[in-house]
Amino acid sequence: MIRRFIFILFIGLQLGRVSAQTKTPDELYGQLFIDVQMQNVLKDGKTFVDCIPKRDPAKILEDYLKLKAAKTNFSTRAFVNDNFILPDTNTTVVTTANQPVAEHINQLWEALRRKPAEKIANSSLLDLPNPYIVPGGRFREVYYWDSYFTMLGLQVSGENETIENMVKNFTYLIEQNGHIPNGNRNYYLSRSQPPFFSLMIGLLAQIKGNEAYSTYLPALEKEYAYWMDQSAPTKHVVVMPDGSKLNRYYDQLNTPRQESYKEDVLIGQQTEAKNPEVYRDIRSAAESGWDFSSRWLSDGMQLKTIQTTQIVPVDLNCLLYNLELTLQKCYALQHDVVKEKQYQTLALKRKASIQKYFWSPKYSWFTDYSLKTKNQSPVLSLAGMFPLSFNLAGQKQAKLVKNTLQQKFLKAGGLVSTPLNTHQQWDSPNGWAPLQWMAITGLGNYGFHELEKQIAVRWINLNTSVYKRTGKLMEKYNVVNLQLKAGGGEYASQDGFGWTNGVLISLMKKYGYTK
């Protein structure tokens, strides 16, 4: 625990952080934290780490250890109830009979909005200066990549000020921590998420004009420095066999996640001897946003074979290519020819590497690259659509990808994340809003409008039919059997739900739906 704190402090100093963060829940509560998590006292491990103590944590821990030792019928749950304020998960909006889904979404923005508040002592929540939108359910803080897709819907709803406030918040997080963490909780500081910040700036520029590129250039530079190991040795950079540089996901810690402590400990007990980096691999999959998927599993099926840090992900590198292009545009607008050329060169090098290392003629698909096998991964996933989303594929490649998409991914309700059913939530039969959006965008870029619309219509119809049955919008959907809920993963499916709302209302506007 002490080594972990020292490491976080070191990283913080390296990234220029000047304000000390509140101790994380495991540091505050020691054995109480372990007992609550390992005994499933609150069922969902995320609940305890989001609790607010009613008094001094040191005194709470001292009293807990004394009472536990003295009482034979001691109730940990009763002790937690007496000493902590449990978080509220209610994001329910009451719908009127036959209320159009677009109206419901516009109401949901208010239910999911969080406003800045005074700092609460010993809370894991990181302060933000401006209002923001949370996903919903157990996800009661802002999340990095979720927010881009939420913003798409906010734009349709005319919530331009909210979009700008969220961009300002992410800039604040970069300034405070050197990067945008997974979410605004101190237990998320060791990792980021898929780097969509440059796309957020592009979206804001549609609203505010090109001044957005100048305003947020310093933040974009710091974001790039974090991923490229320039401001601290975060180990996100991988040197490929030809000497070129690409990127991977890499959490800065190798300990069980605090919000999923028991789940991680149990996996560690199965595999730690074979994979001493198992906790980092689990955490790094969380940094990818795809927690969890066959993408990261060496046998394609079992979580105990996770090897995230040995995978070079195609989607991450496409996002960083877009970040390089965005920085090129920023400096072009400032007439800084040297910097403009620098980022243009970096983007072109990455484009060549994406083609070299991710394109699989065997599968007619862009796949991840394995550092262990030194070859493309055999697991196909919707991450393979990202090169089309960013215009990185040739036209012939795009046509082959389109055919593979139709054959292996297209289902009655939209697209599955992967064709494999592993009981992990980022595999079949589940479909997720952000991946539908990226795939639809990619198809549109290459003129495949018929398939683009077909996927969009299937996704819209699935979302709206579930809404009519339940009055809710979900985190994810079963796109194979439209009568069943999405499942898998380590927590129950959540409703709310930020990115579903954003993608759905955006697609409805684009394709003229008014349901």
Residue-wise pLDDT for 64-88, tens only, equals: 999 999 978 899 999 999 999 999 8
Token representation of residue 72: 């034979």
**Per-residue pLDDT, 5:** 43
Nearest to 197 by CA among 160, 163, 229: 163
Nearest to 50 by CA among 128, 140, 177: 140
pTM of the entire predicted model: 0.95
C-alpha span between 122 and 139 (Å, rounded): 19
For the ranges 90-104, 209-223, 296-310, 334-348, the lowest mean pLDDT is seen at: 90-104
188 and 293 Cβ atoms separated by less than 8 Å: no
Token representation of residue 32: 């109480």
Write the DSSP symbol of residue 143.
B
Helix axes of 25-38 and 261-271: crossing angle, nearest 10 degrees: 80
For the ranges 93-97, 140-144, 161-165, the lowest mean pLDDT is seen at: 93-97
430 and 488 Cβ atoms separated by less than 8 Å: yes
The predicted model gives 105-110 an average pLDDT of 95
pLDDT for 21 beyond 80: no
Token look-up 């802002």 returns: 142
| Band of pLDDT at residue 93, cut at 50, 70 and 90 | low
357 and 239 Cβ atoms separated by less than 8 Å: no
**Per-residue pLDDT, 22:** 81
Calculate what percentage of the chain has a pLDDT beyond 70. 94
Spatial neighbors of 302 by CB under 8 A, at least 6 apart, are: none
pLDDT for 9 beyond 90: no
- pLDDT tens digit sequence for 313-328: 999 999 999 999 999 9
**Per-residue pLDDT, 118:** 85
Spatial neighbors of 180 by CB under 8 A, at least 6 apart, are: 144, 170, 173, 174, 192, 193, 195, 197, 223
- pLDDT tens digit sequence for 109-160: 999 999 998 889 999 999 999 999 999 999 999 999 999 999 999 999 999 9
pLDDT for 97 beyond 80: no
- The average confidence (pLDDT) of the chain is 93
Token look-up 């209302």 returns: 505
φ, ψ (nearest 5 deg) of residue 300? 75, 0
CATH tag, 101-511: 1.50.10.10
For the ranges 68-72, 419-423, 449-453, the lowest mean pLDDT is seen at: 68-72
* Residues assigned a catalytic role: 291, 475
C-alpha span between 104 and 95 (Å, rounded): 7
Q: Is 104 helix (H, G, I), strand (E, B) or coil?
A: helix
Nearest to 58 by CA among 29, 38, 89, 79: 29
- pLDDT tens digit sequence for 243-298: 999 999 999 999 999 999 999 999 999 997 889 999 999 999 999 999 999 999 99
**Per-residue pLDDT, 90:** 63
**Per-residue pLDDT, 162:** 98
What is the rounded end-to-end Cα distance, in angstroms, of the chain?
Answer: 53
φ, ψ (nearest 5 deg) of residue 428? -60, 145
506 and 163 Cβ atoms separated by less than 8 Å: no
Nearest to 163 by CA among 502, 456, 454: 502
Using left for φ > 0, alpha for ψ between -120 and 50, and beta otherwise, residue 321 falls in alpha
In the chain, what are the domain boundaries?
Answer: 25-85, 101-511
